[in-house]
Amino acid sequence: MIRRFQPQRLNYGSVSRADARPNCESQFKWVAGCCAVAALLVASSAPAQITINTKTGEVTNGTTGHTINTVDRRYQQIEPTKVPLTKSELDAKTRLELIRLLQAEQGFAMRPFPRGHKGLTLQANGNLDPAGEGYLNMVTSEGLSAKPGDRLVLTDIKIERSRIVFDLNGGPDPKHRLLRHIQIGAGPEMNPVVQDDGQEPVGARLSLTFTDHIPELTGAEVKALLAPLISFDLKTPIQAFTDTLPTKLKDAILNHHVLVGMTTDMVLFAKGQPEGKTREMEGQMPFEEWIYGKPPQDVEFVRINGNRVIRVEVASIGETPVIFTKDEVQGLMRTDGTPLDPGAASGPHVAKVGDVERNPDTEAPAAPPSLRSPGEKLPTDTQTTGVMRPVQMPKPKPPEQPDATPDVSPQPPVSDAAQPGPAKPQEPPQAGTDQQN
């Protein structure tokens, strides 16, 4: 498991200059104390020590020295070039030759190129700025100008004191940024100074920087310095695209194999356009099925969700279909080809900070989270309840006689006072009394 820790900014609020220093010192002391506690925790668990670089996004295991990058390898730091450079300064004649040789030169992108006025900065025989998460954030915020393997054209070259600025595919800035907003005319008719089609530029910018000054360079040396980002060799489109991928993934595409985790571009380079497409739903997830081949040949069903392959099924006549669902590309694109977890290659699992190993067969599951303090009891915990008795099932009634006819006539309700009792004997009437009451 890879955890990412983001640095926090200290918010001093609105304080005066007199009390700003004590407030800052107190907060820095608090941060220093937290760092000391974190260092003690890490020192106490040496096997789980890791180092996180928030600028490049690299995560390094402190025990083995293995580096795991959290972003796609296409956004990672490049390997510096080793081009010998002279100490003499670039003169005017060589400047014109460089512009003439490199103007309108075409190459292939080895990395994603973002849009934006700033663009990428490449130090001669040095590193790329930005790299890692900064590179990924620039592509996300500014947009993508060229994907790996796309053709690039050096449309404009500017040679300054200590850097060479290349505008690719038209550059990221619109032409005549100020004049496009000015109109000239008299009365109601106004005509713009510069005709503008209203389309936003989609180009990119790359700056090749040097330490103090630009030395004497040839066109071949400039191309060698730009080789980590732009390849000027003659290639086919599939060669230009696969050269930016790991070896295992490159071989799979050249051998026309589809792996789970590939993008749609990789599938198109590997298999070409599908012979059929279907769109379906699996629960709440929409997906698209690309179908390659027809019986009696093998039929391959490539299921795509968004821009990634999530399932590959190969069906042959008379055999059980073979289904692949394990992602095999993510680990290759995020590392140098080694597993994401350094302990996965050696076999045993390496426990990290925060991991809890539990055997479900012999140990009970962990208690759910609670707001109680340790040892706290609630009034409901002391209440006693009665003992539950077994449930008494009703006894079945005896079956009725088949010859008996039940009396179904309605009977008036009889109260307790009107219940029939033993008949009393009537007394004879007395003589001389009126019989008619």
DSSP string, 43-102: HHTGGG-EEEETTTTEEEETTT--EEESS-GGGSPPPPP-----SSBP-HHHHHHHHHHH
Q: How far is the first Cα of the chain from the last one, in angstroms, to the nearest whole number?
A: 110
Backbone angles phi, psi at 164, to 5 degrees: -120, 125
pLDDT of amino acid 179: 75
313: three-class secondary structure by DSSP: strand
Cα-based angle 93, 128, 79 (whole degrees, multiple of 5): 100
Q: Which residue has the tokens 């109601």?
A: 188
Quote the CA–CA distance of 260 and 311 in Å, as a whole number: 6
Quote the CA–CA distance of 224 and 83 in Å, as a whole number: 7
Backbone angles phi, psi at 222, to 5 degrees: -65, -40
Quote the CA–CA distance of 46 and 70 in Å, as a whole number: 22
Contacts of 401-408 spanning 24+ positions with Cβ under 8 A: none
Q: Which domains does the chain have, with CATH numbers?
A: 20-70 (no CATH), 92-175+200-240 (no CATH), 245-340 (3.30.1450.10)
Q: Are 291 and 297 in contact (CB under 8 A)?
A: no
Consecutive 10-residue averages of pLDDT for the chain (437 residues): 41 38 43 43 40 49 51 84 91 92 92 92 94 89 91 93 94 79 81 75 93 92 94 86 88 93 92 93 91 92 93 91 90 60 42 57 73 81 68 80 59 54 55 48
pLDDT of amino acid 192: 78
Q: Are 152 and 107 in contact (CB under 8 A)?
A: yes
pLDDT of amino acid 12: 38
Quote the CA–CA distance of 298 and 294 in Å, as a whole number: 7
Q: How far is CA 10 from CA 13, 19, 26, 58, in A?
A: 9, 15, 11, 24
